[in-house]
Amino acid sequence: MRVVLVAGRATGGIAGHVAALASGLADAGVDVAVATGDATADRWEELGAGAGPGDVHAPVPPGVPVLRLWPSPRRPLAALRRARALRRLLGGADVVHAHGHQAGLLALLAARGLRGPRRARGRVRAAGPAVVVTWHNAVLAAPGGAAQRALEVAERLQARRADLLTGASGDLVARARALGAGRVEVTPVGVPDRAADGGRGRGGPVPAPPPAGLEDLPPDALVVLTVSRLAPQKDLPTLVRAAARLGTGRGARGRGAPVTWCVVGDGDPAVEARVRRLVAELDAPVRLLGARPDVPELLARADVFALSSTWEARSLAVQEAMAAGLPVVATRTGGLPDLLEGVGALVPVGDDRALADAVAALLADPLARERAGRAAREAFTALPGPQDVLRGWIDRYARLAADR
């Protein structure tokens, strides 16, 4: 079976999921290739040296072809060549799996009218490859007027033309059904259980020496950790305001051990500049640590994990925190309640006071932190793991290829 994964501009969780899926398919003996853009391919190359086993942000493995075939409108002639090459690639596939709205639209347009690969007896299929589209994110902050309508048309085309449309959370699946999708389902993203595999978790010792960037913290310092792309959707200004509300960097409104908020991740330079300005203006105890390969060590050092996004699916970062037995405070949006209802603290989107209060309550009560961390860990162990997710995809691909 020949599978082509299509990914657009993705440098966060989507890129990690595509890379992990490609790796798992290759290990299972599936003939797999990845078609993507320059930014994503460059990101995987950067990650190649620093990624460890089971890292959710590991790159595509060396044995899987990564083809730079994403057409850019800024370079029309190169875009035309890439579009033709992508169409040839898809023509040799049994299944095309596109990740994200833009990738879904591109894959459906490129595969339209294709004939399938030749069979051993020399016959040619009348139908092209089966096309699967996975929506990992909602379409946010869409402009009004013609642009808004164009986005809705693109969503509707994917919902109605894809052989299977899957969503990373229930609200995405509901959206697809409302747009006319016939075959649609929720598909989780599995996170490796590094604590069970001997990795560092909350149950193990805090790493020594401390992670880089935290060496100056006293031993009793409390750490609130966020792992996030620097993007508007993550609403990091709300996180900074929540940190500032806790006072002069000490737990529970100035009482107890000092508190430091750490943000791990990179992304939009404009977002980073805005966040740094706000940190300085509010004198907030927030450190931007950039992209880091030592997230497990940072999770082991942290006391609370916080996420202030305006929308998330089944966040990989939240699942990693749960696996590490770390209590989580996050916004009530998208797929986060599916992960955290009854387990973590859920607060309204954009409400820095509620976020600060929820974090402060955990920081002030070590027993509450321990109970919440234990509940998070137990909830994580009940989630589908990477091998469960991989087997599910292989089964879907096989059924779709047979149907064609």
Q: Residue 188: pLDDT above 90?
A: no
- Tell me, what CATH number does 321's domain have? 3.40.50.2000
In whole angstroms, what is the distance from residue 395 CA to residue 352 CA? 44
Per-residue tokens: 260: 């430091």
Residue 351 lies in a domain: yes
pLDDT for the residue numbered 208: 66
How far are the Cα atoms of 84, 184, 286, 325 from residue 70, in angstroms, in the given order? 11, 26, 37, 39
Same domain, 171 and 265: no
Same domain, 343 and 398: no
In whole angstroms, what is the distance from residue 233 CA to residue 265 CA? 14
Q: Which of 235, 226, 225, 228 is nearest to 274 (CA)?
A: 235
Residue 198 lies in a domain: no
Q: Residue 261: pLDDT above 50?
A: yes
The DSSP string of 320-361 is: HHHHTT--EEEES-TTHHHHHTTTSEEE-TT-HHHHHHHHHH
In whole angstroms, what is the distance from residue 330 CA to residue 242 CA? 12
pLDDT for the residue numbered 139: 78
- pLDDT tens digit string along 34-89? 999 998 898 888 776 445 444 556 778 888 999 999 998 888 888 899 999 999 99
Residue 211 lies in a domain: no
Same domain, 31 and 123: yes
Least confident of 113-122, 189-198, 341-350: 113-122
pLDDT for the residue numbered 120: 46
Same domain, 38 and 108: yes
Q: Considering the chain, what is the average pLDDT of its residues?
A: 87
180 vs 113: which has the higher pLDDT: 180
Residue 206 lies in a domain: no
Same domain, 372 and 392: no
Q: Residue 125: pLDDT above 80?
A: no
Q: Residue 282: pLDDT above 80?
A: yes
- pLDDT tens digit string along 308-343? 999 998 898 999 999 999 999 999 999 999 999 999
pLDDT for the residue numbered 8: 85
Q: For tokens 């259980």, name the residue.
A: 193
pTM comes to 0.83
